[in-house]
Amino acid sequence: MRFQRLPSLAVSLTAFCLPLLGMQAARAGDVITSVPTLHVVVPGLESQAQLADRLRAQGYQDVIMSSVYPSPADPYPWQNPTLTSHPEQTPVHDGWNGVAFKNGQVFQVYADH
């Protein structure tokens, strides 16, 4: 008897939850937008200047690397000259490293080791 009741319970829960999931998806679709990202693999120790040179060789322009991640307090660190002034001394870190432009779009640059 327990196993016969389980499918009906699952069907009931599914019927109850589907409209809620649909409403959440519609709300999320209104808020979330697609941001162009560029994921690069850094095989070893590399400076942000070296990474920027590699990206320029692939056709990206105006590559700006930052020594810190974006945060609520500073959502655009690539616009702060003190955070972008020494890419030759700043090692590439895992995650977000800066921005690069290509074909009129801004790409967020993410690195993985």
What's the pTM value of the predicted model, to 2 decimals?
0.69
100 neighbors 62 (Cβ within 8 angstroms): yes
> Residue 105: pLDDT above 70?
yes
Tens digits of residue pLDDT in 10-46: 444 444 444 444 444 445 555 566 889 999 999 899 9
Specify whether the CB–CB gap between 51 and 40 falls below 8 A: yes
Q: What is the pLDDT of residues 52-95, one digit of tens each?
A: 999 999 999 999 999 999 999 999 999 999 999 999 999 999 99
Distance separating the N- and C-terminal Cα atoms of the chain: 54
Q: Which burial class, exposed, middle or buried, applies to 69 when counting CB atoms under 10 A from its CB (0-12, 13-18, 19+)? A: exposed
d(Cα 62, Cα 83) in Å, to the nearest integer? 16
